[in-house]
């Protein structure tokens, strides 16, 4: 099995030639004789393509040939071939002229490659043409992750549209979260839950028209039946103190134990609690100088940053599932 090195160009003014050489053959990667620079042609659009298929000879060649044959220009290309696995993963960013290469034709071209290589996943995204992701955010009492997502959405920092916020906590109408949601016309659904009634059917009815769900410190377990019925990705965030400090008030437990390193983990939700494929993790040191208040503040800041980065990576097609419980994050 050949191990492929990562090939990335960070220079937007690319020369009309080969981007780089890895141990897999890149001889067929030929960019157009005239460099496509978005500063020269304002009609050029940016696109992303991800590909996952069984490993084989000529995949990189055919992918690059598909883009170049339509006048597109590759800006970056990431390839991963794991050891001892018959698998190939890639993510490419490129610019193209929509007059010469229509969105419909692009889908057809990449679909042919999917059939050629028996692809398990082939997704193309053109941010300027394609609709934004539609998401629902589930939250409980804590606001820090929820409000951070609302602010990022308002500022256009994350490429999604929030269709609703669902919570098992009844917020007062005068809270900053409710006022924000009312100001922006985002519905807030309070679903009271008990041990006997998790309200999962009601949640399913509210999220049918979404592309994925985000659990922003939602302190309820979603069952396997819910996940199977929803059938799309669910992204969760939790503190990085697990599994050492379970149960109530983990920050107090960790603070009292004198830990020196705290963190946050964002992952896909699976039926096994807090054990889904990890998307993003962040850590920070704490010391004897931290009190409980600063300890909690650091932990919450990590959770906000980690969740936002995981969602951004997911929306930019940087996250691919790998094996039973792992991810490739380009």
Give the pLDDT score at 193.
Answer: 84
Residues classed as catalytic: 274
Domains of the chain as residue ranges with CATH: 1-129 (3.30.70.260), 133-329 (3.40.50.170)
pLDDT tens over the chain, length 330 residues: 443 333 333 344 444 433 333 333 333 333 333 444 444 456 899 999 999 999 999 999 999 999 999 999 999 999 999 998 999 999 999 999 999 999 999 999 999 999 999 999 999 999 999 999 999 999 999 999 999 999 999 999 999 999 999 999 999 999 999 999 999 999 999 999 877 677 999 999 999 999 999 999 999 999 999 999 999 999 999 987 656 777 778 888 888 999 999 999 999 999 988 889 999 999 999 999 999 999 999 999 999 999 999 999 999 999 999 988 999 999
Q: Shortest CA distance to 316 belongs to which of 134, 8, 48, 75? A: 48
Non-local (6+) Cβ contacts of 162 within 8 A are: 135, 136, 137, 149, 150, 153, 186
| H/E run at residue 190 | strand 188-190
Q: What is the pLDDT, as a whole number, of residue 30?
A: 37
Q: How far is CA 218 from the centre of its chain?
A: 18
Query: What is the per-residue pLDDT for 7?
Result: 36
Number of H helices, E strands in the chain: 8, 13
Q: Is the Cβ–Cβ distance between 91 and 78 less than 8 Å?
A: yes
pLDDT at 26: 36
Among 227, 212, 46, which Cα is nearest to 132's? 212
- Quote the pLDDT of residue 302: 95
Torsion sign, CA atoms 54, 60, 66, 70: positive
Q: Which of 111, 20, 16, 29 is nearest to 62 (CA)?
A: 29
Which residue, chain included where needed, has tokens 């692809």?
Answer: 119
Q: Where are the alpha helices (DSSP H) in the chain?
A: 59-69, 103-117, 144-154, 176-184, 200-207, 224-230, 250-257, 292-315
Cβ-in-10-Å burial (0-12, 13-18, 19+) of 304 comes to buried
CA distances from 16 to 23, 31, 35, 42, 71 (A): 21, 6, 5, 19, 12
Two structure tokens written together for 96: 């193209």
**So what's the pLDDT on residue 197?**
77
Q: What is the pLDDT of residue 250?
A: 83
pLDDT recorded at residue 41: 53
């Amino acid at each position: 099995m050949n191990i492929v090195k990562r090939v990335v160009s960070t220079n937007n003014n690319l020369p009309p030639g080969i981007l780089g050489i890895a141990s897999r053959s890149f001889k067929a990667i030929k960019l157009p004789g005239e460099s496509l620079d978005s500063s020269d042609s304002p009609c050029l659009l940016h696109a992303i393509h991800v590909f996952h298929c069984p490993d084989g000879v000529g995949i990189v060649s055919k992918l690059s040939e598909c883009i170049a044959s339509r006048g597109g220009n590759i800006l970056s290309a990431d390839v991963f071939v794991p050891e001892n696995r018959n698998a190939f993963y890639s993510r490419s960013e490129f610019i193209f002229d929509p007059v010469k290469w229509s969105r419909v034709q692009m889908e057809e071209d990449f679909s042919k490659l999917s059939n050629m290589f028996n692809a398990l996943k082939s997704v193309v995204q053109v941010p300027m043409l394609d609709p934004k992701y539609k998401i629902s955010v589930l939250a409980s009492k804590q606001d820090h992750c929820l409000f951070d997502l609302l602010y990022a959405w308002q500022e256009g920092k994350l490429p999604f549209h929030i269709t609703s916020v669902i919570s098992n906590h009844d917020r007062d109408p005068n809270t900053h979260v409710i006022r924000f949601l009312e100001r922006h016309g985002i519905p807030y659904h309070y679903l009271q839950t008990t041990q006997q009634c998790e309200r999962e059917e009601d949640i399913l009815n509210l999220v049918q028209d979404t592309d994925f769900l985000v659990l922003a410190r939602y302190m309820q377990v979603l069952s396997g039946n819910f996940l199977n019925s929803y059938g799309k990705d669910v992204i969760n965030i939790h503190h990085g103190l697990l599994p050492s400090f379970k149960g109530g008030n983990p920050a107090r437990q960790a603070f009292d134990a004198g830990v020196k390193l705290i963190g946050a983990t964002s992952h896909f939700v699976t039926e096994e609690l807090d054990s889904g494929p990890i998307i993003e993790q962040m850590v920070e040191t704490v010391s004897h100088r931290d009190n409980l208040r600063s300890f909690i503040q650091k932990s919450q800041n990590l959770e906000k940053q980690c969740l936002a980065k995981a969602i951004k990576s997911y929306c930019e097609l940087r996250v691919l599932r790998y094996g039973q419980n792992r991810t490739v994050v380009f």
